[in-house]
Structure 1
Amino acid sequence: MLELKIEEKRVVLKEKLPLKEINLFCKQFLAMLQAGVHITKALEICIESCGDKGMKVSLNQIYAALMNGYSFSEAMDETNVFPRLLVSMIACGEASGNMCGSLKEVIMHFEQQLEMHSKIKKALIYPMIVVGAVVIVTIILMIKVIPNFMLLLTETGAEIPRTTQIVIAVSEFFVKYGIEIGIALCVCLTIGYLFAKSKQGKVILDSLSLKLPIIGCLNKKIITVNFANTMSMLIAAGVPILQAMEMTKKVIKNNVMQNELENAIHYLHQGSSLHNALQGGSVCPSMLIQMIYIGEEIGEVDEMLRKIGMYFKEEVDAQMMQCIILIEPTLTLILAVLIGGMMLAIMQPIFSAATAII
């Protein structure tokens, strides 16, 4: 097992680099190493071809550190903008003499993460567009369309149904207090944003994200995939279990899972096995723990984690597809009922008046 000697840096945190840019750099760097290019020369080429300003600055810092005698992993760690996972895998590659193999593993891991993020974004795009359209159309109807129809209704002298009266009352409220509503909405959104960014807010929202129907189950599976894939890669690279757990805890973004991993790390320090340390949590599924137990028995924990990661990734893909299939018609129906209901309430007295005249 390889003991990593990379220490935590007590420096001011900089803005982290986008994962997409980091993965692109890793691919370019790996291609040059495989072609036999020396590390410093490969880094020079990457700096020259880099299009991202933040990445170029960081690569220049790495290059300067290399010239001062740092190893590549130490130089990368000095910048404090690259993921700890990447730094550790490069350190493993340096220690084992297989830098290319370590880079291949981390590139595959980043590809999986980017693919997952892309699928989640695609699943959210349609609902966000529909919700935005509903809000915009509703505002236009309430502020512009309905007041004009009110004038027409007043001229016809037609009897106004209860539903139409409610819609008109809501429209009058929007017209009269539109500015106040806008200000209140901005204040609420600002408070909500600040709360979501606060430590307590993140804990509450992370806990809620695991308890919501359908979404909670999906989030647990996504966390399981990230945990299994990260641990599998680190253990296969020769990182000790305790250090692998520490690194994985930083990769997982959910506070509930982070706390459970912290408890597991405590039990590991006391000599517990990995599967026993993970028991009792609310996020890790029993199948994951059982597969880890089997891996510990046969000495292939990394392979069992890889398999469970693949299994839950397929589960996540299938569930996300089901959600997309259900979301589209549901939101379309809601849009039709909401907008159609308002238009019907507006047009009903006009049709009644026209029928009476005929």
Structure 2
Amino acid sequence: MATATKTFQYNSVDAAGKRIKGTVQAPNEAAAAQLLRQRGETALSMTEAGKGLNREISIPGLGGRTTLKDLAVFSRQFATMTASGMSLLRSLAILEEQTSALSLKKAVAEVRTDVAAGVSLSAALGKHDRIFPKLMIAMIRAGETGGMIDGALEQIADSFEKDSELRGKIKSALTYPTIVLAFTFVLIAGVLIFIVPIFEEMFKNLGGELPWITQLLVDASNNMWWAGPLIVGAIIGGTVLYKQRVRTSPEFRLAVDRFKLRLPVFGPLFRKLAMSRFSRNLGTLLGVGVPVMQALDVVGETTGNAVITAAMRDVQQQVRDGRPMSTALRAHDLFPAMVTQMVEVGEESGQISQMLDKIADFYDREVDAAAESLTASIEPIMVLVMGAVVGGMVVCLYLPMFTIYQNIQG
């Protein structure tokens, strides 16, 4: 059966440094990039044409923040250009020109200036550790030491792309319940603002005492003008305070991450995601020659989970005392038996980075399956919740009708 082709829009640069824009047809993005390489061009960016609702929405004034996807694209382009023989300065100049994230563009410009002045690439990136993760800086430093910066950039790009893909799957799993929940709140507000006052006026004309649950709904409608903004303000303020506390209090962050891992439905998903990042990052660092102690330090800060960060400090100490990494990991319940056993096999065979990559691949598939299962199970639950809320409000509004009818009959 013939493979379906897609149309990709691309920006590229040829051997002379000339910028080229156009379209190319290929089965996938990798094949499209290969076609461009055969033409002597290096792809800078590539997007599938006609994605419709799947296109990203760009809001003016909100595009300056550097995301993981920005770093993944930046790393892949950087790796492609350096692998094609382009100098670091030329590559950085092109990356600065085509990068859309303002914070990343500014950082790349300063990195290029430092490199031109004789500063190493890793040291120049290290000055912008709020933009470039420690994982990236450590791997480039190891690549510079071993004379394999091209390979280090390739592995950085692979790692960021896989992490970005995992995050995308989690966001996709949470998109549907978020939309349904938001629609439910809008529906509740609409009923309280527009429908309940009509029924309230009708109840006043008919007379009689309202059931307590209907009276509660009427009171909520009458107080919406001040309670609604107060609730919204409290939610926004609470969210801001929560994020600030997570950033500034390590103890609070640790407690939050422990709670996340213990959640009944989302906990296993968060645990698998943490294992995937831990294994991928540690395997990638060890694969490019980063020393074990430094790799453990970097991994502890790049998994996005304070529980693993705390565990890595203990593992570092035990490894420093001469214990195998697998033994140190086994002392923490966070790491499943499969992880510790495969790390032990890797230590014995001298292929620990390859074993960690296999663990990461396994958990990538587990996260994918868990995200799909979560989406499938949440959808009917959210529909039932929305139906229960709407049905409950309808019952509350029509309950006085039955009371009035009974009084008339009596």
Deviation at 1:180, TM superposition (A): 4.5
2:83 aligned partner = 34
Please identify, of 232-241 and 192-201, the stretch whose mean Cα deviation from structure 2 is larger. 192-201
- Measure, in 1, the Cα distance between the counterparts of 2:104 and 2:228: 43
Please tell me whether the aligned partners of residues 193 and 224 of structure 2 are also in contact (alpha carbons under 8 angstroms): no
- The CA distance in 2 between the partners of 1:195 and 1:78, in whole Å, is 28
Q: Write the distance in 1 (CA, Å) between the matches of 2:165 and 2:235.
A: 33
Corresponding residue to 2:374 among 323, 326, 329: 323
Q: Which has the higher helix share?
A: 1
Partners of 2:82 and 2:88 within 8 A in 1: yes
Q: Which of 149, 159, 171 is the equivalent residue of 2:218?
A: 171
Secondary structure in structure 2 of the residue aligned to 1:251: coil
Give me the whole-angstrom Cα distance separating, in 2, the residues matched to 1:107 and 1:33.
13
For residue 239 of structure 1, the aligned residue among 280, 290, 295 is: 290
Which shifted more, 41-50 or 328-337?
A: 41-50
Structure 2 CA distance for partners of 1:18 and 1:177, relative to 1, 3 Å: closer
1:178 CA drift (Å): 4.7
Amino acid at match of 2:398: M
Matched, 1:130 2:130: no
8 A contact 1:143–1:171 mirrored in 2:
no
Between stretches 86-95 and 289-298, larger displacement belongs to: 86-95
1:337 lines up with 2:388 in the alignment: yes
Q: Distance in 2 between matches of 1:79 and 1:22?
A: 13
Separation in structure 2 between the aligned mates of residue 244 and residue 201 of structure 1, nearest angstrom? 25
CA distance in 2, matches of 1:130, 1:51: 32
Select 2:198's aligned residue among 144, 148, 155. Answer: 148
Within a 5 Å distance, the mapping from 1:186-335 to structure 2 comes to: 186-187=233-234, 189-198=236-245, 199=249, 200-335=251-386
Structure 2 CA distance for aligned equivalents of residues 140 and 16 of structure 1: 35
In the other structure, the counterpart of 1:3 is none
* Structure 1 alignment gaps of length 5 or more: 1-14
Q: Which residue, 335, 342, 347 being the options, matches 2:398?
A: 347
The structure-2 alpha-carbon separation of the partners of 1:35 and 1:192, relative to structure 1 and needing over 3 Å to count, comes to closer
Say if 1:286 and 1:19 are closer, same or farther in 2 by CA, change over 3 A. Answer: same
Cα distance in 2, alignment partners of residues 226 and 320 from structure 1: 16
Change over 3 Å in CA distance of 1:203–1:134 after alignment to 2: same
Paired positions, count: 340
RMSD between aligned residues: 2.4
Equivalent residue letter for 2:184: V
Name the structure with the higher strand share: 2
The 8 Å contact of residues 197 and 221 in structure 2, kept in 1 or not, is answered as no
Identical columns (%): 26
Give me the whole-angstrom Cα distance separating, in 1, the residues matched to 2:240 and 2:366: 31
How far the C-alpha of 1:158 sits from its partner, in A, is 7.5
1:71 Cα deviation (Å)? 1.6
Q: Is the 8 A contact 2:65 2:101 kept in 1?
A: no
Do 2:72 and 2:164's aligned partners in 1 also have CA atoms closer than 8 Å? no
Give me the whole-angstrom Cα distance separating, in 1, the residues matched to 2:185 and 2:157. Answer: 41
Q: Residues 69 and 244 (structure 1 numbering): CA distance in 2 closer, same or farther, change over 3 Å? A: same
Whether the 8 Å contact between 2:214 and 2:396 is mirrored in structure 1 is yes
- Higher relative contact order (Cα pairs below 8 Å, separated by 6+ residues): 1
Deviation of the 1:96 alpha carbon:
2.1
Unaligned runs of 5+ in 2: 1-63
**Aligned-partner residue type, residue 198 of structure 2:** N
* Residues 225-265 of structure 1: CA deviation (Å, up to 9, x unaligned): 00001111111111121111011011022111111111111
Alpha-carbon distance, 1:126 to partner: 1.3
